[in-house]
Structure 1
Amino acid sequence: MLKLNIKNEISKLKAVVLGTAKSNGPTPKVQDCYDPKSIEHVLAGTYPIEEDMIQEMEAVATVFEKYGVKVYRPEVIKDCNQIFSRDIAFVVEDKIIRANILPNREAEIEAIKYVWDQVEPENQIILPPECHVEGGDVMPWDDYIFVGTYSGDDYPDLITARTNMDAVIALQELFPEKTVKSFELRKSNTNAKENALHLDCCFQPLGKGKAILHKNGFLIEREYQWLVDFFGEDNIFEITKDEMYNMYSNVFSISEEVIISEQNFTRLNDWLRKEGFTVEEVPYAEIAKQEGLLRCSTMPLIRE
């Protein structure tokens, strides 16, 4: 049996699900894309090809190997994009919670069933159907669970709005001893630079009391300000709109000291090293074209 344990984003990682780019399928049609950035690349003819994305993901697998992390991969489904394992489920404490994701992504859940089946049945959580949630919006942080959400009246029209208030309430009921703190995110179906697809697209807590933030990703300034006050202004790396678009905040912590980051994130990586982190740089620019990066393609199962 898997003894799940995820209390935060930074404790030493022991086991993780890493997505796969194998048999990723042909370039999607515009109407089948889930986000504005993918649409941009489909229209420009620059949508990533499978071979490049497989190489990028293998680079991450190699880093995990170096740090002795047990890696689970989804079973490969023919012509299916299975890169973003964070979307399909997430772990808080000792519970694995199935994400109520876009209906046409059901097959992705089946592909990690062998992992799910290793968890005690009472710790396998499926939320009621009215609770929409994806793992990119959920961040356990010790006594807190930070959740990105959107409660505007146009929620049903926004394919980029993935987590609703029903899910926030359900998480609070599941973890009554924690404070579930929600943040309204800026959404756009058409402009990737004005769209925070998930909370981890505009915010990421790091070790050493640091955090990455992008102010414009938050709809309500005082909610953004709450995070600034929580971490302290001197501890925050504020990213620009272009950096958010390039997914600067979607790095991934293997421990409090070690962070996997994209090799082109020069400004961020320099700052991280200056702050005393070990930065494991990987190529991930092709995968980033689908509005997801390192945190999106990993689903931690066990941290120390």
Structure 2
Amino acid sequence: MLQLNVKNETSRLRAVVLGSAVHNGPTPLVHEAYDPKSLEHIKAGTYPLEKDMIVEMDAFNAVFQKYDVEVYRPEMIEDYNQIFTRDIGFVIDDIFIKSNILPDREHELDAIQYVINEIDSIKVVRPPEEVHIEGGDVMLWNDYVFIGTYKGSDYKDYITARTNMQGVNYIKELFPNKIVKEFDLVKSKIEARDNALHLDCCFQPVGKDKGIIYKRGFREEADYMYLVNLFGKENLFHIERNEMYNMFSNVFSIDENIVVSEKNFTRLNNWLRAKGFIVEEIPYAEIAKQEGLLRCSTLPLIRD
């Protein structure tokens, strides 16, 4: 049996589900795009190729092997995007929560069922249908659970709004001892530079007390200030609009002092090293074209 344990984003990783780019399928048509960044690249003819994305994911896997992390991969589904495992489920403490994702993506959950079968069934939950929540919006920080949401009355009109207030309340009920704090995120269907698809597109903790943050990803300044007050401004790396677009906040921690980052994130990687982090740089710019990066491609199961 898998003994799940995830309490934060940065403790030593022992087991993870890493997505797959194999048999990723043809470039989607314009009307099939789930987010504005993919749409932009479909229209421009620069949508990433399967062979390039496989190379990037292999590089990520190699880092996990280096640090002796047990890696599970989804079972193969022909012509199907299975890169972003973060969306389909997530672990809080020792509970595996299946996401109610976009209906087109339901098979992604089937492809990791063999992993879920290794978990005690009373530790696996699926929220009721009206509850929308995806792993990219759920950020653990010990006693805190930070959740990205969208509070606009036009929620249903946004394919980029992935977690609703029912999702926030569901987590509050499931974990009454946690401090659950929701953040109202900026959404756009047409401009990727103004679309915080998930919370991890505009914020993520690193190390014990630091974080990466994009102020304009929050609809309310009070939400941004909540994090500034909690972490301290001097502990936060502030990213710019274009850096948010390139997914600077979507790195991934293997340990409190080890961060996997995109090799082109020079400004961030220099800051991390100056703060004492080991930075494992890998190429991930092609996958980034689908508005997801390193954190999005992982589903952590066990951290120390």
Amino acid at match of 1:235: N
Which residue in 1 is equivalent to 2:171? 171
Which residue in 2 is equivalent to 1:12? 12
Query: Within the alignment, does 1:48 sit opposite 2:48 as a pair?
Result: yes
Deviation, structure 1 residue 208: 3.6
Query: Within the alignment, does 1:132 sit opposite 2:132 as a pair?
Result: yes
TM-score with structure 1 setting the length:
1.00
Amino acid at match of 1:245: Y
TM-score with structure 2 setting the length:
1.00
Deviation, structure 1 residue 134: 0.4
- Aligned counterparts of 1:144 and 1:153: Cα–Cα separation in 2: 27
How far does the alpha carbon of each residue in 1:178-223 deviate from its partner, in whole angstroms, 9 at most, with x for none? 0110000000000101100000000010104110000000000011
Native 8 Å contact 2:10 2:208 kept in 1 = no
* SS of structure 2 residue aligned to 1:260: strand
* SS of structure 1 residue aligned to 2:40: helix
- Aligned counterparts of 1:126 and 1:118: Cα–Cα separation in 2: 16
Amino acid at match of 2:259: I
Query: Within the alignment, does 1:195 sit opposite 2:195 as a pair?
Result: yes
How far does the alpha carbon of each residue in 1:18-63 deviate from its partner, in whole angstroms, 9 at most, with x for none? 0000000000001101000000000000000000000000000000
* SS of structure 1 residue aligned to 2:286: helix
Which residue in 1 is equivalent to 2:144? 144
- Aligned counterparts of 2:76 and 2:48: Cα–Cα separation in 1: 18
- Aligned counterparts of 2:46 and 2:76: Cα–Cα separation in 1: 24
Q: Percent identity between the aligned chains?
A: 62
- Aligned counterparts of 1:139 and 1:203: Cα–Cα separation in 2: 9
Which residue in 1 is equivalent to 2:101? 101
Amino acid at match of 2:65: E
Native 8 Å contact 2:214 2:244 kept in 1 = yes
How many residue pairs align between the two structures?
A: 304
Query: Within the alignment, does 1:159 sit opposite 2:134 as a pair?
Result: no
Amino acid at match of 1:100: N
Which residue in 2 is equivalent to 1:247? 247
* SS of structure 2 residue aligned to 1:254: strand
How far does the alpha carbon of each residue in 1:139-181 deviate from its partner, in whole angstroms, 9 at most, with x for none? 1111010000011111000000000000100001100000110
- Aligned counterparts of 1:143 and 1:107: Cα–Cα separation in 2: 33
* Gap runs ≥5 in structure 1: none
Q: How big is the alpha-carbon RMSD for the aligned residues of Structure 1 and Structure 2?
A: 0.4
Which residue in 1 is equivalent to 2:291? 291
Runs of 4+ in 1 over 6 A off after TM superposition: none
Deviation, structure 1 residue 302: 0.0
- Aligned counterparts of 1:248 and 1:195: Cα–Cα separation in 2: 14
Query: Within the alignment, does 1:271 sit opposite 2:253 as a pair?
Result: no
Which residue in 1 is equivalent to 2:181? 181
Which residue in 2 is equivalent to 1:68? 68
* Gap runs ≥5 in structure 2: none
